[in-house]
Amino acid sequence: MRFVATAPDAESLVMNSRRRQALALAGAALCCGFETAFASVDLLKTPARRSALATRAMLLGIAISGRRLVAVGERGVILWSDDAGQSWTQASVPVSVTLVAVTFSDARNVWAVGHDGAVLHSVDGGQQWSLQFDGDSANAAVLAKRKAALQDARSDEDKKSAASALADLQESLGFGPSRPMLDVFFSDSQQGWVVGAFGQVFRTRDGGGHWSYEGDALPNPDGLHCNRVVRLPDGSLAIAAEGGKLFRTRDDGRNWQLQDTGYTGQLYGALPGGAPGVLVAYGFAGHILRSVDDGQRWQEMPSPTKTSLIGGLKLADGRLLVVDRARRVVASDDDGASWRLVANEPGRPLGGVAPGLVDQRLAVVGIGGVSWLGLKGSS
C-alpha cells in the first residue's frame, strides 16, 4: 500500500519533506560545529524557525474565517492574514514537522494537523499554537484499544483477529510517531475528528483535551489511507480514502458504512450536490465520480483534466468547483453531471485549496506560498 500525502499526486511536494527537514537541521548543526546525530533531531520538539522568507515556503493547507486566513506547510510554517491575504504574518509554532491541513471551528479556534501525528490548536485565530496530540500519543491510544479488544474477544475467531491486529501494531511501534495525520474537521469548538495514513481516525469531544482512537470502527481491515473528512448537509460524516472508498457514518461515529465508488485509486475529497442524494467524489488523475442515490451506486464522469484533483468546494449559488494540482479549476452547474474548465492559470504546483472564495477569488497554496485563481469563466 503506497503512502500518498494530502497534496494528491504531489510526491515532490510532500513525500520527502520530513527527510528534507531532518537533513537540513542536521546539516545546519554540523556546519555550526556541533556533532548532533541525525536521529537526535526531534521535529515534534523543535519550534518552527521564524523567517522573512516564510511566505515563500511550501504550503499545503489553507482555511478561512471571515477575513482571517491561515495557511500551513513545510517545517511547521503557519501564516495568518487579517486582510484577506494582502499581507501575512508568521505564527508562533512549537513543532517543525510538515503541516498539511487546517480548519476553523469558529473565529478563534483553529486546528492544524501533519506529519508525526501532530495535532495543533490555536485559540487566537491562528497566531499562537500549542501541540495537543502527536504520533506517540496516537500509538498509545491505538495500543490501548487493541489490547482492550483482545481482552473483550469471546469467540476464537474474534480472539485471532484481535491478536493479529495487536501484533501488527506492536511491530510498527518501533518506527515511532511516523504516521501522518492528513485532515481535520471540527463541527464546533469541542467536537472534532482527525484522519490519516494507514486508517488512522481519532476524535475528541472536549476540544482536543482527550483523543480516542476510532479507526477500528471503520470497515477498513486493510488500513487504507484516510485522506479527507467532510460533513455533508444531512449531518453525516464522510471520509474519502484510498482504493476509491468512502466511509460514512450517520450516527456520530457509532456505526460506519463502506461506500465503494468502483474506482480503485485515491479519493481526495467529496462534495454534496444540490439535489437530495447527489454526491461527488474526486481524486487521483482527474477522476470524478458521481452518485444520485446517496452513495449506493456510482458513475465516473467525463473530466476536463487528467491531473489529480486536490480540493473542491460548493459555492453559495450551488455550483461545484474542483481544483487540480496544475492550477486548473473545473466547475459543474448541474450537480456534477457535467464539468467544464473555468480557469487554467500556469504556475507552480498546488498542494491545497481554500474552502471558500475571498473577494470572488480562490486562494490556493503550494510551492512558493499562497497564490490566487480567478474564475472568469465560471459565471
Residue 174 is predicted with a pLDDT of 65
Tell me, what amino acid is at 193? W
Are the beta carbons of 185 and 231 closer than 8 angstroms? yes
Whether 230 and 241 have beta carbons less than 8 Å apart is answered as no
pLDDT for the residue numbered 211 = 96
Environment class of residue 108 by beta-carbon count within 10 Å: exposed (0-12), middle (13-18) or buried (19+)? middle
- Whole-model pTM: value is 0.87
In whole angstroms, what is the distance from residue 13 CA to residue 100 CA? 11
CATH superfamily of the domain spanning 11-134+177-378? YVTN repeat-like/Quinoprotein amine dehydrogenase (2.130.10.10)
Of 254, 277, 268, nearest to 309 by C-alpha is: 268
Give the pLDDT of residue 224. 97
Instruction: Domain ranges for the chain, please list them.
Output: 11-134+177-378
Mean pLDDT by 10 residues, the chain (379 residues): 40 39 36 42 95 97 96 98 95 98 98 98 98 94 84 83 79 74 97 97 97 95 96 96 98 97 97 94 98 97 98 95 97 97 94 93 96 73
Burial of 220 (0-12, 13-18, 19+ CB in 10 A): buried
> Which residues lie closer than 8 Å to 322 by C-beta, 6 or more apart?
269, 271, 280, 282, 288, 309, 311, 312, 329, 330, 331, 339
% helix, strand, coil for the chain, step of 5: 20, 35, 40
> Cα 333 to the chain's mean position, in Å?
26
Confidence at residue 4, expressed as pLDDT on a 0 to 100 scale: 38
Q: Which three cell numbers stand for residue 31?
A: 556546519
Predicted pLDDT of residue 335: 96
Query: 286, 265 in Cβ contact below 8 A?
Result: no
